[in-house]
């Protein structure tokens, strides 16, 4: 579209300005001020007795090239790199800042990506960089070695959209490692560059295969490096569990099947039809919602796979992550429709579903990582 900057505003601009002016007169100055301020979203506090510390690390696997193709004009990715956030029970958090859910750079990228990664999310009106976690940066860990849990997010999600559940587990005594998977995550800020998702809609079978294989290798890298992290004294590597949502659940079960270091796994609505896992002899629990559009494939893929099943009523596929808390607040602010809310997290209030997942996961891992 050609635009002449010297010409005056077009008819659409004038008409829109007139409508906004009329709305301002009718609504009053307070409403206009509210509309001008981007919405700041808040996450619920964890329920455990311990405050939560947080540290982030970049890991590089020099033996493995990154599998994704860079975009036009983008430099080659080179060796595979991942970002992790480690959440843990802290001895004290006094005077230490709470970490933002997204860094300023990540928030700027996610603002543009949000409606493409999750259709129906707003393209404007939210200050994504203002949401604070309950993880305090650099807090000293509580003395003693703790069981460790690895988390893999759903396809297209960054690791930080699993913050609420991870903080709750950490507040109850676990060390939780949130693993980002650059390439399919919406955005990942590495120390020297930003990686943006290659996904555009649902992945085809070949892309999904690459996603899962890459994620499993990323998880193995994290397991290999647990003993080298500055927080290694807080980690009991004899007690390792894993949980993941959607593609993260698929990768979690595949990792459990192929790595004896993992003692137990939780699958949050991930397909299990890529690799043979029916003969697993280690503890496994599966969660599903009654609103998942892939229910037929999910049911077929779980056939013959051991493990307890937990069903969440009135819930949608993205209720397992922080969308469960963010989307209702977006809806209350008029930034998403009721249809978007129902499609993402289901029509029921998410509190019951989230409470059930929290309770079941704590019980499951306490029993099997004792």
CA–CA distance, 330 with 345 (Å, rounded to integer): 12
pLDDT tens figures, 244-295: 999 999 999 999 999 999 999 999 999 999 988 878 899 999 999 999 999 9
Query: Which residues are paired to 60 by β-bridges?
Result: 81
Residue 69 dihedral angles phi and psi, to the nearest 5°:
-90, 130
CA–CA distance, 176 with 295 (Å, rounded to integer): 29
CA–CA distance, 311 with 293 (Å, rounded to integer): 14
Share of the chain above pLDDT 90, in %: 85
| Cβ pair 250, 275 in contact under 8 A | no
CA angle 110, 56, 67 (to 5 degrees): 65
CA–CA distance, 205 with 267 (Å, rounded to integer): 20
79 pLDDT tier (thresholds 50, 70, 90): very high
Averaged pLDDT score across all residues of the chain: 90
pLDDT tens figures, 324-343: 999 999 999 999 999 999 99
Whether 3 has a pLDDT exceeding 70, the answer reads no
pLDDT tens figures, 171-221: 999 999 999 999 999 999 999 999 999 988 889 999 999 999 999 999 999
CA angle 57, 58, 60 (to 5 degrees): 140
Enumerate residues 6+ apart whose C-beta is below 8 A from 51: 89, 90, 92, 93, 134, 136, 139, 171
Enumerate residues 6+ apart whose C-beta is below 8 A from 17: 9
DSSP per-residue codes, 340-364 = HHHHHH-SS-HHHHHHHHHHHHHHH
Whether 115 has a pLDDT exceeding 70, the answer reads yes
Mean pLDDT check: name the lowest of 23-27, 97-101, 141-145: 23-27
């Amino acid at each position: 579209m050609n635009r002449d900057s010297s010409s005056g505003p077009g008819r659409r601009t004038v008409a829109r300005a007139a409508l906004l002016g009329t709305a301002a007169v009718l609504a009053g100055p307070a409403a206009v001020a509210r509309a001008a301020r981007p919405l700041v979203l808040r996450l619920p506090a964890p329920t455990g007795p311990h405050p939560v510390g947080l540290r982030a690390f970049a890991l590089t696997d020099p033996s493995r090239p990154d599998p994704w193709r860079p975009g036009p004009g983008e430099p080659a990715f080179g060796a595979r790199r991942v970002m992790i956030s480690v959440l843990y029970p802290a001895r004290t958090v006094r005077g230490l800042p709470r970490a933002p859910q997204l860094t300023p750079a990540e928030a700027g990228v996610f603002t543009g990506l949000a409606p493409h990664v999750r259709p129906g999310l707003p393209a404007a009106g939210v200050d994504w960089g203002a949401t604070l976690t309950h993880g305090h940066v650099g807090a000293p860990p509580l003395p003693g070695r703790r069981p460790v849990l690895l988390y893999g997010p759903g396809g297209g999600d960054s690791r930080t959209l699993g913050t609420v559940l991870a903080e709750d587990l950490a507040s109850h005594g676990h060390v939780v490692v949130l693993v980002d998977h650059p390439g399919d995550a919406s955005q990942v800020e590495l120390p020297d560059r930003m990686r943006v998702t290659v996904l555009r809609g649902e992945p085809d079978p070949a892309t999904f295969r690459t996603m899962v294989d890459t994620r499993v290798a990323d998880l193995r890298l994290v397991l290999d490096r647990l003993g080298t992290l500055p927080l290694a004294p807080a980690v009991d590597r004899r007690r390792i569990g894993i949980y993941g949502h959607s593609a993260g659940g698929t990768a979690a079960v595949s990792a459990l099947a192929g790595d004896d270091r993992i003692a137990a796994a939780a699958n949050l609505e991930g397909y299990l039809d890529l690799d043979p896992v029916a003969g697993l002899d280690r503890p496994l629990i599966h969660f599903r919602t009654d609103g998942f559009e892939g229910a037929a494939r999910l049911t077929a893929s779980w056939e013959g796979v051991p493990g307890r099943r937990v069903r969440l009523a009135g819930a949608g596929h993205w209720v397992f992550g922080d969308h469960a808390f963010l989307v209702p607040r977006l809806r209350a602010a008029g930034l998403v429709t009721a249809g978007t809310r129902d499609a993402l997290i289901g029509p029921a209030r998410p509190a019951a579903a989230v409470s059930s997942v929290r309770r079941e996961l704590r019980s499951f891992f306490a029993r099997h990582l004792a």
